Amino acid sequence: MNVSPTDPAGGTGPKPAEAVSSGSSKAGNMTSALEETVVKSGPDLRAAAERRDRLLRIILPVVILTSAILGWEALVRIQEIPHYILPAPSLIMETLVKDWAVLSTSLITTLQITFAALAVAVAGGVGLAVLFTQSKWVEISFFPFAVILQVTPIIAIAPLILIYVDSIPVALLICAWIVAFFPILSNTTLGLNSADHNLRNLFQLYGASRWQTLWHLQLPAAMPYFLGGLKIAGGLALIGAIVAEFAAGSAGRGAGLAYRILESGYRLNIPRMFAALLLISVTGILIFLTFSLLSHLMLRKWHESAIKREN
């Protein structure tokens, strides 16, 4: 049973060189000279096109975004719009630097609530999902609660939670958790139930315990789904924290970015309002990018979503 590394079945994907030459020979059936040039320049042209494509992918959004900001700056300066109506981007950056002491403390507060809520959402969401897959009766009994929590707008429940819970950070945490936990729960439940049924049979055949099936089969199978849920939940936890801060409207040392926005609004300090807004957006983007990267790193070896294919 000796097999060379390339099984007769082949099919490990066509090699790029083959794909290119077969493609161009199909196109150039006219003269051999023409064919030769096509074959020769084909790969170079294609590589050049790919390079251009990659560059444009970065350059284009950057150029558009920069010109939008410059246009904004120009509009404010030419029209002499007062800064309490629309501050120029330069003034927003200036404010960001000038008020960094206040804003950074608020940013840390918001981040703490966001990540604490996300951590509890991951633990709760995955834990509950595992429980759901162990017993359908648990799932049938408790799933409605999860749905009710999910469909009720957080802004509507936040005031109630703030009344019932004395500690404001805890109340904020609960609000952010309610928003973040559902995508993790529903995605992980779906993932745990998506393990290949033949693999389940195989585990059954070898007398695997529930715990072994969960650990070696269901959790790995659920990983792509869980990571998808985590990407959504990261952004939602931030939104939940901000919304809850708005509802709480609490001042003091532990005030988050949302409170800075409210406060700036009352004082007509619009540049600071924009600065706080910018921080929230950047935080949201960073959270998304971080989890996208995490997802890619964890799945790149095996999952379809993270594998680059050449056609």
Q: Residue numbers of the site for other proteins (CB under 8 A)?
A: 1-3, 5, 7-12, 196, 198-199, 201-208, 212, 216-217, 220-221, 223, 301-303, 307
DSSP symbols for 228-271: HHHHHHHHHHHHHHHHHHHHH---STT--HHHHHHHHHHTT-HH
The alpha carbon torsion through 224, 118, 289, 241 (nearest 10 deg) reads: 140
Cβ closest to other proteins, residue 141 vs residue 204: 204
Shortest Å, Cβ 218 to other proteins: 11
Long-range contacts of 80-85 (CB under 8 A, 24+ apart): 83/270, 83/271, 84/268, 84/270, 85/270
In the chain, % helix, strand, coil (3-state, to 5) comes to 80, 0, 20
Tokens of 91: 């003034």
CA 157 to chain centre: 25
Smallest Cα–Cα separation from 195: which of 219, 159, 170? 219
Cβ closest to other proteins, residue 1 vs residue 97: 1
Cβ closest to other proteins, residue 98 vs residue 303: 303
3-class secondary-structure state, position 207: coil
Shortest Å, Cβ 140 to other proteins: 21
Please answer whether residues 180 and 233 qualify as being in contact, where contact means their C-beta atoms are separated by less than 8 angstroms.
Answer: yes
Shortest Å, Cβ 19 to other proteins: 17
Q: How far apart are CA 180 and CA 182, in angstroms?
A: 6
Tokens of 283: 């935080």
Cβ closest to other proteins, residue 10 vs residue 153: 10
Q: How far apart are CA 182 and CA 149, in angstroms?
A: 8
Q: Provide the 10 A C-beta neighbour count for residue 246.
A: 15
Q: Provide the 10 A C-beta neighbour count for residue 233.
A: 29
Long-range contacts of 141-148 (CB under 8 A, 24+ apart): 146/181, 146/182, 146/185, 146/186
Cβ closest to other proteins, residue 185 vs residue 217: 217
Shortest Å, Cβ 133 to other proteins: 18
Cβ closest to other proteins, residue 179 vs residue 221: 221
